Structure 1
C-alpha cells in the first residue's frame, strides 16, 4: 500500500517511464519472491515479503493507468475487464503451481520457485510493450497545451469524485474478502468439523470472478453505466443468500459462487470512470488512490466484520459468522440507489 502511493511520485521525481517503472517492480517481485527458497531465517523471510509487496506496489497502478491512457471507448472497457480476469487466472494458476512444487518436492522452500515466473513476464513485457513513457507524454503536453486540453476532455485536476470511488472500492473489498474469509467457518458449522471441501468452492469463486472480468467489456457495451447496477444487485443478492442461508449448505455456496462475478463487473467500471476524472498525467495517482481503497478494504475486512458481529450482539462462531452479510447487502442496495438518484439529478440539471 505504501509503494502504491509512492510509485507515481517516484516516477515523477526520477522521470522514469511507465514501462521502466513496471519492469523495476517486476524485477523486485522476482528477486524478493525467490529469497525464501534459499534461507530459513524468519526475519529475512519477513523482510523479503515486505520487499515483495513493495515490488507489487511499484507497478500495480501503472498496469491499470496504461490501459486508460492507451485505449478508449469499448476497447478500454474490454481491456480493463481482461486485466481483472487475468488477475484471477494468475492467482489461481500460481497457487496451483506452488502446490505442485510442494507436492513433488516435499520441501517447504520449493513453492517459492513460483516467483521465477516474474522473470518470464519481465522478458515478454520488455520485448512486446512499447516505451510510451509518462515523461514523453508530459513533454508533449507542455509543448501543446491546447491539444492537451482536448486529449484530457478538459480535465485539469483530479476530481473529488475520485475519493468517492476510493470509498466505494473500500466497501466492495470489505464485502468480498469478508465472504471469502467466513465461508469456510460457515461450511463447517453446517457440515461438521470433519468437512474439508471448502477450498474447492473458494477456487470456483475465483472462476466466477474470472468470468466477470472476461464478460465485462461485452456487458458494458450493451448496458453502459447500468453495469454498475447489475453488479451491485448481484452482489447484494449474494450477501442476502449467505446471510439467510441458515442450515442450507447449497444456498450458502451459491451465494459464495455468485459474488465473484459481479465484483469484476463493478471494479473495472471504477477504473473505467477514472479517465474522465483526472488528467492523463495524473492517471497513475488516481489509479493508486483507488487501489489503496481496495487494499484497505481487504486489510480491514476481518475487523469490520468483527465489529459488526459485536454491534449485533452475535458471537464470532458458528452460524453467527453470517450475521454481517444481510447488512452488507442492504448497504450495497443503498449505494446503488444513491448512485441512481445522483445521476438522475445531475442529468436534469
Structure 2
C-alpha cells in the first residue's frame, strides 16, 4: 500500500487540525470574562476572533519562511503547534486586557504557520473521491477539536473560573508529541496530476489541464468570508443570549456550543458521500440549511429551545460548503500554486472570523437594536436572507453558463 493511503499517515496529518479552531474554546466564558475585566461585548468577542487576524498574515508568510530557511513541512507544523500551546496559556497568568489580546494575536500566528500546509498537502497528495473524503475528514477534525476544547474549557469554567478555561491549550503539547512521533521528517513525493472535478467544471466551464489561477478563486475567497462572518457571529452571540434568557449565573452555553460541533463534524464526515451524490447541488443544500439555522436563531426571541435548535443546525451545512471550496481549488490553479490559492481562501475565512464582531455591530446599528440582551440576535435574519441571495446568484450564474 502506498504510504499516503495509510490510515496512520492520514490520522497523523489530521491530528494537527484538532487545534486549528481552538481559538473558539473560550467562547463559553465570554460573559464571565467580560464582567471580570469590565470590557464591552465587542472587546470580549475580539478575544475570540483576534487570532484570525494573525492567521491572515502568517498563512502568507509561512510558505516564504519555509523557503527562506529551508524548513520542512513537519518542522513548520511543529513550530506552529508549539506557539499555539505557549501563547494559549498566557491569559492564565496575566490580568491586563491588552496583554491577553496580544497573546491571542500570537496564538493566531501559530495557527497561520501550519494551517495552509495541513490543507494544501491533502489537495496535492490526493485526488478524486479520496481527496474529497480527506478534505471532509480534515473539516471534521477541526470540529472535533473545537468541540473537545470547548467542552474541556467549559468544565474548567464551571469549577475553577474563567481564567482556568485557558488551560485547555496544554492539549497542544499532546498533539505535538503525537505528530512528532508519527509523521516522517521528509515529505513524500506528491501527485502532480489532479483529476478534473465536475464541480469546478460546472462553475467555470473550463476543461483540460489547469495552466493558471482562475479568477473564480477570488469569488471563493469572498464566499468564505461571508460564511464565517455568519458562523462565528452566532457562536460569539449565543453565550450572551443564553445569559439574557437564563440569568447572569448561567454557564451552560459551552455545552451547547460543543453539541453544535457534533453537527459540524457529521457535515465534514459525510461531505464526500453527499458531494458524490449531489455534485454541485451540495452548495444549495448547505446554503439553504444555513439560512434556516439563521432564521430559527434570529427569530427565537426568548424561546431558548428554538434558539438552541438554530445553533445546533448551523454547523452541519457549513461543513458541506467549506470543504467544497477547497475541493474546487485543485481545478482552479496549477499544482505548484495550490499553497497560494489555499492561503487566499484561508485569508477569506479568517478575515471573516476577525471582522465578524464588527459586522455584527454594524448590523445592530442598521436595525436599531441594542448590543445587549435579546438585541444580540438582530443580525441573523439578515444573514439568512443574504445566504439565500447568494444561492440564487450562484444558481443563475451556473444556469446561464449551461445555456451558453
Q: Work out whether residues 159 and 278 of structure 1, in 8 Å CA contact, stay in contact via their aligned partners in 2.
A: yes
The 1:274–1:186 alpha-carbon spacing in structure 2 relative to 1, beyond 3 Å, is: same
After TM superposition, give the deviation of residue 55 of structure 1 in Å: 2.4
Correspondences of 1:135-150 after superposition (within 5 Å): none
After TM superposition, give the deviation of residue 50 of structure 1 in Å: 4.2
After TM superposition, give the deviation of residue 154 of structure 1 in Å: 2.3
| Per-residue deviation, residues 137-185 of structure 1 (Å, max 9, x unmatched) | 8xxx8xxxxx8999x9522222211111111111001100111111223
RMSD of Structure 2 on Structure 1 (CA) = 3.1
- 1:293 maps to which of 335, 345, 348: 348
After TM superposition, give the deviation of residue 40 of structure 1 in Å: 5.8
Structure 1 residue 88 and structure 2 residue 172: aligned?
A: no
Q: Work out whether residues 153 and 276 of structure 1, in 8 Å CA contact, stay in contact via their aligned partners in 2.
A: no
Mapped to 1, the partners of 2:78 and 2:278 lie a distance apart of 36
Q: Work out whether residues 30 and 118 of structure 1, in 8 Å CA contact, stay in contact via their aligned partners in 2.
A: no
Q: Which residue of 2 aligns with 1:237?
A: 292
After TM superposition, give the deviation of residue 32 of structure 1 in Å: 5.0
| Per-residue deviation, residues 252-275 of structure 1 (Å, max 9, x unmatched) | 111111001111111111111111
Of the structure 1 ranges 62-71 and 176-185, higher mean CA displacement relative to structure 2 is found in 176-185
| Per-residue deviation, residues 112-160 of structure 1 (Å, max 9, x unmatched) | 5323213223323434x861368xx8xxx8xxxxx8999x952222221
TM-score, normalised with respect to structure 1: 0.84
The 1:15–1:225 alpha-carbon spacing in structure 2 relative to 1, beyond 3 Å, is: farther
Q: Which residue of 2 aligns with 1:156?
A: 211
Q: Which residue of 2 aligns with 1:167?
A: 222
Structure 1 residue 118 and structure 2 residue 175: aligned?
A: yes
After TM superposition, give the deviation of residue 339 of structure 1 in Å: 0.7
Mapped to 2, the partners of 1:312 and 1:237 lie a distance apart of 20
TM-score, normalised with respect to structure 2: 0.74
Q: How many residues align?
A: 336
After TM superposition, give the deviation of residue 313 of structure 1 in Å: 1.6
After TM superposition, give the deviation of residue 46 of structure 1 in Å: 6.6
Q: Which residue of 1 aligns with 2:323?
A: 268
Structure 1 residue 131 and structure 2 residue 187: aligned?
A: yes
Structure 1 residue 326 and structure 2 residue 373: aligned?
A: no
Structure 1 residue 345 and structure 2 residue 368: aligned?
A: no
* Partner SS, residue 183 of structure 2: helix
Q: Work out whether residues 158 and 251 of structure 2, in 8 Å CA contact, stay in contact via their aligned partners in 1.
A: no
| Per-residue deviation, residues 291-343 of structure 1 (Å, max 9, x unmatched) | 11111111111111111111122222222222211111010000001111111
Larger Rg: 1
Structure 1 residue 204 and structure 2 residue 259: aligned?
A: yes
Mapped to 1, the partners of 2:279 and 2:243 lie a distance apart of 40
Of the structure 1 ranges 3-12 and 22-31, higher mean CA displacement relative to structure 2 is found in 22-31
The 1:184–1:30 alpha-carbon spacing in structure 2 relative to 1, beyond 3 Å, is: closer
Of the structure 1 ranges 39-48 and 270-279, higher mean CA displacement relative to structure 2 is found in 39-48
